[in-house]
Each structure stands twice: as C-alpha cells, then as structure tokens.
C-alpha cells in the first residue's frame, strides 16, 4: 500500500530512484495481498525480457512470510508458463460443465507418466477463459489419499485475468486432479498445462 503508484502514495519508488540513482520498476498493488505484486511482475513482459538485478518486496510485519501456500504459486510463476517449450509435458482445453470436474483423464495420465522423469519437479498452469467469479479448489489424489487441496484465488485488485500456478511437488504421483467450482463459474473453459521445472 505504501509503495503504490496512486496519487496520494508516499512516493517510495521516487525516493529509491533518487537515493540510488537507479531506475525503479514499481509493480505494487494497493490492498492486493502478499503475492499480487509478485504475480503481476512474474507474468509481465519486463520480467520475461530483462531479469532485474535487485527486487524490493514490501511486506507487513504481521504477515507470515514462510507460508507454503504463498510459495506454491510464486515459485512456478517465476519460472513461467512452459507453453510451446520442451518443458511442456501435457496441455488440454477443458470445458467445465459441473461443479466438480476431473481435469486429467486416464489417457492424459498415461501420456504424462510416459514423459515424466523420476524425481523431476512439476507444476500446473491453469488459464481460465475469463475471471473466476469465486475461488476454485484444486484437489489431487493418489488412490484414496488426498495429496493437495489448493485454493485458487487472486485479488480482485490485480485487474487482469491471470493464470494460476500450482507447484505439484518433486514426485507427480497423483492419479486424479480435480477442480471444484462455484455454481457461477460452471461453463467456463480452462487450459491446463503440466510443466517440468
């Protein structure tokens, strides 16, 4: 909030520019939560084309920095969407016709497992055709055991229909990955991509 580019802000980036005699790229989001600015930056043209040499991340002292849910999205977002690269292990467009939808069918798992290397780390990129009205839940199962239960939500202050990134861990041993949706979000289409780090 204190770093934002709004008219009444504290000109923190201006102060940095003057004090350091360096250009400053400001991606802060007022009221956007802990990870909004990072997500916007990691999917930006500036990040893809020129990695910055130093990053300053404002974070209120009352928030917990080590939360795994934060890193589960931030780390793969920094790596980026693997579309069209040799890191793309699987991709499919799925029409979401019910409130709970399996997003990998048996053929997809067989194809994925044929390509997957043992011990490689993987992440999913989920891109919806339009913003979700409410948050969705991604669930991963191995038999009857629940391995992941991830809430997919972005701050409405980000102003863009951003993709969701989900780290799947070092061993992609799930046999079912499903999305649970709010009723208003049934009918959307999602592109699901599995990427190798």
- As a whole number of angstroms, the distance between CA 126 and CA 94 comes to 10
pLDDT digits (tens, 9 = 90+) for 122-174: 899 999 998 888 889 999 887 788 888 899 988 877 777 889 999 987 656 67
Write the CA distances from 6 to 13, 29, 56, 124, 191, integer angstroms. Answer: 12, 10, 18, 34, 34
* pLDDT tens readout for residues 95-111: 999 999 888 766 666 66
Tokens of 70: 């934060």
- Interatomic CA distance for residues 24 and 84, integer angstroms: 31
Q: And the tokens for 61?
A: 């002292």
């Amino acid at each position: 909030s204190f770093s934002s580019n709004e008219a009444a802000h504290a000109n923190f980036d201006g102060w940095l520019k003057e004090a350091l005699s360096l250009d400053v790229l400001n991606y802060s989001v007022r009221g956007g939560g802990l990870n909004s600015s990072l997500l916007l930056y990691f999917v930006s043209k500036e990040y893809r084309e020129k990695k910055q040499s130093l990053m300053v991340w404002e974070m209120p002292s009352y928030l917990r920095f080590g939360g795994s849910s934060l890193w589960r999205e931030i780390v793969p977002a920094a790596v980026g969407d693997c579309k069209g690269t040799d890191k793309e292990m699987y991709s499919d467009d799925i029409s979401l016709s019910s409130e709970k939808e399996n997003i990998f069918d048996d053929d997809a798992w067989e194809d994925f497992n044929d390509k997957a290397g043992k011990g490689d780390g993987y992440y999913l990129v989920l891109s919806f055709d339009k913003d979700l009205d409410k948050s969705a839940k991604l669930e991963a199962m191995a038999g009857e055991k629940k391995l992941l239960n991830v809430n997919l939500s972005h701050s409405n202050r980000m102003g863009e229909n951003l993709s969701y990134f989900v780290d799947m861990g070092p061993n992609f041993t799930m046999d079912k990955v499903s999305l649970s949706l709010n009723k208003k979000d049934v009918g959307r289409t999602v592109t699901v991509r599995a990427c190798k780090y």
